[in-house]
Structure 1
Amino acid sequence: MKLRENNPLGELGSAIGIGLLAGLAGTAAITLSQMIEMKITKREPSEAPIKVATETTGIKPANAAEKEKVSQEIHWAYGTVWGIARGLIGLTGLKGIPANIAHFGAIWGTSMIMLPAFKAAPPVTEEDPKSIAIDGFHHAVYALAAGIVFDTIASGSKNQKRLDKLIGKLQLKGLIK
């Protein structure tokens, strides 16, 4: 007896949609984390998003206000889209801490390669340990927030959880396949 049909495209669409919501939440979390850290350390906002945009698209904001606006737009779009990766990780069956670690590794690893390639940041081998730790912390905040939101939404409603639990028990007893 089959209670549900597998629908790979539906599962992919759900993973992408939930991933985008998770990415948005992760971006909000990393933004807050960075704002707090910048107040404490007196660090200026990063110009990495605008440097990459200028290098890849030729966009050159006319003034400081435009520069900040474009930088924020890129930051939010980039972070939100990275949620798709979390959705794809979820399709593998990974969830919780293992999925968050994989997502963190993908995001932070990509930034360590991409930003120096676009001359938006020095290679990690030329960074001071404090800067590396702060950057790693912010990316961990993103991955954790995105992971919690993804897993919470993907787990479904209370009724779905009860049904899944019941199906599991019935399968263990050999009553259904």
Structure 2
Amino acid sequence: MKNNPVKEISTALGAGLIAGLAGTAAITISQMIEMKITKRKASDAPTKAVAKVLDIKPVNKGEKAKVAQEIHWTYGTAWGAVRGLLSLVGLTGSPATVAHFAGVWGTGLVMLPSLDIAPPITEEKPKAIAIDVLHHAVYAAAAGLVFDAIMEKDLW
């Protein structure tokens, strides 16, 4: 079947979700390494954001870390769909990876301060900004590599 829009959309979204999962694994590893080096504790931003947006909270404090991880993996995997959608509008390869990075990182820059979870970037220390950029670049690069590999091999 040539020019089947449903197949093209579902392929792009499916490959995007797989790429988002890979990107989330990569950013998780990146953050774990960085936290060991810097002695930084895990962020509670995911649970705070969901608590504010959906008006829900973890049942107890022991569940907070688990819920944060579930949100982290769901959010990162879902952003992979955006990588798939970029391919549908003709944006592929490195330009798509850069656009994906800009979308993911930019959303956080706007969303977290608007929810009063994090200060605006203008109030962040350069080191914190650099670390955040690095982690999100790792995510976007991994997601882009996986997405491009899937689509190049026409695994669908």
The residue type paired with residue 25 of structure 1 is A
CA deviation vs aligned residue, 1:138-165 (integer Å, no higher than 9, x gap):
000000000000000011259xxxxxxx
- Is residue 2:121 matched to residue 1:127? no
Taking only the aligned residue pairs, the percentage that are identical comes to: 61
TM-score normalised according to structure 1 size: 0.84
1:51/1:119 contact within 8 Å kept: no
CA deviation vs aligned residue, 1:35-94 (integer Å, no higher than 9, x gap):
000000000101110110110122222433200011000000000000000001111222
Aligned to 2:49: 52
Aligned to 1:7: 4
The residue type paired with residue 97 of structure 2 is N
The residue type paired with residue 35 of structure 1 is M
TM-score normalised according to structure 2 size: 0.95
Structure 1 segments unaligned to the other structure (5+ residues): 159-177
Judge which range, 104-113 or 56-65, deviates more: 56-65
Greater Rg over alpha carbons, structure: 1
Q: Please state whether the residue corresponding to 1:43 is helix, strand or coil.
A: coil
CA distance in 2 between counterparts of 1:24 and 1:74 reads 12
Structure 2 segments unaligned to the other structure (5+ residues): none
Aligned to 1:148: 145
4+ runs deviating over 3 angstroms: none
Aligned to 1:99: 96
CA distance in 1 between counterparts of 2:58 and 2:152 reads 43
Judge which range, 111-120 or 145-154, deviates more: 111-120
CA distance in 2 between counterparts of 1:23 and 1:122 reads 26
Root mean square deviation of aligned Cα: 1.5
Aligned to 1:169: none
Question: Superposition pairs for residues 26-105 of structure 1, below 5 Å?
Answer: 26-105=23-102
CA distance in 1 between counterparts of 2:58 and 2:67 reads 8
1:15/1:90 contact within 8 Å kept: yes
- Assess, with a 3 A threshold, how the Cα gap between structure 1 residues 63 and 117 changes in structure 2: closer, same or farther: same
CA distance in 1 between counterparts of 2:102 and 2:16 reads 16
Q: Please state whether the residue corresponding to 1:155 is helix, strand or coil.
A: helix
The residue type paired with residue 11 of structure 1 is E
1:47/1:120 contact within 8 Å kept: no
